[in-house]
């Protein structure tokens, strides 16, 4: 959801759409200083979410964050912005901040261990700066342009370094498909999430990003598509949404295109119709 126009307006739009959980950027995802929130506006948003049982609120950190940067000034800035977003999330009553891990430099070796060491150092510095209750979630990526955290093995190596109450994971279906996990076949779903459980841990998983993919399986490219209209397809999503191995009440967030006025409404109706309610 967009927060242009304020938090109360965002909450009203979420209610109109029939959202059960919401993700926002707390600041411009492309750059610039974060604006302080208006306390009254935030209080009215919180009250609306309480009344309509919309939870959790999830914050997505800006895209320019690179916790693996070889440029120390850029890495310090990423640490600062991420710690600030965790603080801003707490002000908003959000439970989670989702971030992409970052990417290697083009001159670095194929082996990612040096880059992962920088990421671990960065996250430790974020956790030293922000000590509150909001949990940091590391999101899997499609592996586009030396991005880290695409393979479950790599995400698992990272998340297990940190206290489980401070750092967890977010699983994006489009990113996983782009990397090469074939979520389009309902017969694969159990095996894919069992692998996730072994290598990353389903107990670390707090949020699922439900996005279909415009790009081919294993293309290492990330372009989101409307639910059911991309490579994963409706049957893939039916199996993912109804997978019984997740924690109860797993929030599903869509980051699908908004190319038509009714796009959000349509995608929400599609995923709700796929859900088998007991
Ligand atoms: Zn993301
Ligand atoms: Zn995502």
Gap from CA of 27 to ligand 2 centroid (Å): 17
Separation CA 18–CA 273 (nearest Å)? 13
DSSP for 122-143, written as a single string: HHHHHHHH--SSPEEEEEP---
Closest ligand to 211 CA?
2
Main-chain dihedrals φ then ψ at residue 109, nearest 5 degrees: -65, 160
pLDDT at 5: 93
Rounded to the nearest whole angstrom, what is the distance from the C-alpha of residue 24 to the centroid of ligand 1? Answer: 11
Q: What is the mean pLDDT of the chain?
A: 96
Distance between Cα 40 and ligand 1 center (Å): 29
Q: What is the pLDDT of residues 149-175, one digit of tens each?
A: 999 999 999 999 999 999 999 999 999
Confidence of residue 33 (pLDDT cuts 50, 70, 90): confident
* Tens digit of each residue's pLDDT (9 = 90 or more) over 186-197: 999 999 999 999
Q: How far is the C-alpha of 67 from the C-alpha of 212, rounded, in Å?
A: 27
Give CA–CA dist 268/250, Å, rounded. 16
**100 alpha carbon – ligand 1 mean position (Å):** 6
| Residue 68 within a domain | yes
Query: Which ligand has the nearest atom to the CA of 98?
Result: 1
Determine, yes or no, domain membership for 140.
yes
Is 89 a residue whose pLDDT tops 70?
A: yes
Section 230-251 average pLDDT? 97
Q: State in Å: Cα 223 to ligand 1 middle.
A: 11
107 CA distance to ligand 1 centroid (A)? 25
Residue 225: helix, strand or coil by DSSP?
strand
> Residue 138 CA: which ligand is closest?
1
CATH number at residue 145: 3.20.20.150
**C-alpha 209 – ligand 2 centre gap (Å):** 5
Give tens-digit pLDDT for 199-213. Answer: 999 999 999 999 999
The residues whose Cβ lies within 5 A of ligand 1, an ion, are 139
Which residues does 171 contact at the CB level (< 8 Å), separation at least 6?
139, 140, 196, 205, 207, 208, 209
Residue 271 Cα to ligand 2 middle (Å): 16
Q: How far apart are CA 278 and CA 275, in angstroms?
A: 9
Task: Give me the long-range contacts of 127-134 (CB less than 8 A, separation at least 24).
Answer: 127/162, 127/163, 127/166, 127/167, 129/79, 129/80, 129/83, 130/83, 130/86, 130/87, 132/86, 132/87, 132/90, 133/90, 134/86, 134/89, 134/90, 134/94, 134/95, 134/96, 134/97
pLDDT of residue 155: 97
Span from the CA of 62 to the centroid of ligand 2 (angstroms): 12
pLDDT of 221 over the 90 cut: yes
Residue 1 covered by a domain: no
| 116 CA distance to ligand 1 middle (Å) | 19
- The pairing of strands 205-209 and 212-213 is unpaired
Give residue 278's pLDDT band: very low, low, confident or very high (50, 70, 90).
low
**Comparing 90 with 30, which gets the higher pLDDT?**
90
Ligand 2 is an ion; its neighbours by CB within 5 Å are: 172, 209
Tell me the percentage of the chain whose pLDDT exceeds 70. Answer: 100
Distance 278 CA to ligand 1 centre (A): 30
Asked if residue 50 lies in contact with residue 17, where contact means CB atoms within 8 angstroms, the answer is no
Assigned domain for 196 exists = yes
Residue 2 lies in a domain: no
Query: ω before 56 within 30° of 0 (cis)?
Result: yes
Question: Which ligand approaches the C-alpha of residue 63 most closely?
Answer: 1
Ligand closest to Cα of 224 equals: 2
Between the CA of 178 and the centroid of ligand 1 the distance, in Å, is 13
Grade residue 128 by pLDDT with cuts at 50, 70 and 90: very high
Name the maximum alpha-carbon separation found in the chain.
53
Residue 167 lies in a domain: yes
Q: Give the residue numbers spanning the domain of 46.
A: 7-274
pLDDT at site 103: 96
Q: Tell me how far apart the alpha carbons of residues 157 and 62 are, in angstroms, rounded to a whole number.
A: 23
Per the CB < 8 A criterion, the answer to whether 147 and 100 are in contact is: yes
* 64 Cα–ligand 2 center, Å: 14
DSSP code of residue 187? G
Ligand nearest to C-alpha 147? 1
Find the mean pLDDT for residues 29-50.
Answer: 93
**Considering the domain boundaries, does residue 171 fall inside one?**
yes
Residue 222 lies in a domain: yes
Give the chain's domain count.
Answer: 1
Q: Quick one: average pLDDT of 80-87?
A: 98
């Amino acid at each position: 959801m967009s927060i242009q126009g304020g938090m109360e307006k965002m909450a009203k739009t979420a209610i109109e759409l029939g959202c059960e959980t919401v993700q926002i950027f707390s600041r411009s995802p492309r750059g610039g200083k974060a604006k302080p929130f208006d306390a009254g506006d935030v209080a009215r948003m919180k009250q609306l979410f309480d009344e309509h049982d919309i939870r959790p609120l999830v914050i997505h950190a800006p895209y320019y964050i690179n916790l693996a940067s070889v440029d120390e000034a850029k890495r310090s800035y990423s640490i600062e912005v991420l710690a600030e977003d965790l603080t801003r999330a707490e002000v908003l009553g959000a439970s989670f901040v989702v971030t992409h891990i970052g990417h290697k430099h083009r001159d670095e070796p194929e082996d990612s261990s040096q880059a992962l060491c920088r990421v671990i150092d960065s996250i430790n510095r974020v956790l030293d700066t922000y000590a509150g209750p909001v949990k940091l979630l590391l999101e899997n990526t499609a592996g586009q342009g030396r991005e880290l955290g695409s393979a479950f093995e790599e995400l698992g190596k990272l998340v297990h370094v940190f206290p489980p109450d401070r750092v967890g994971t977010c699983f994006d279906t489009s990113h996983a498909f782009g990397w090469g996990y074939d979520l389009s076949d309902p017969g694969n779903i159990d095996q894919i999430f069992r692998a996730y459980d072994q290598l990353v841990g389903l107990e670390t998983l707090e949020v699922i990003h439900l996005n279909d993919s415009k790009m081919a399986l294993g293309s290492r490219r990330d372009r989101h598509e409307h639910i059911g209209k991309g490579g994963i397809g409706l049957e893939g999503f039916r199996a993912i949404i109804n997978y019984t191995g997740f924690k109860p009440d797993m929030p599903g967030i869509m980051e699908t295109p908004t190319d038509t006025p009714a796009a959000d409404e349509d995608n929400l109706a599609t995923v709700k119709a796929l859900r088998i309610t007991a």
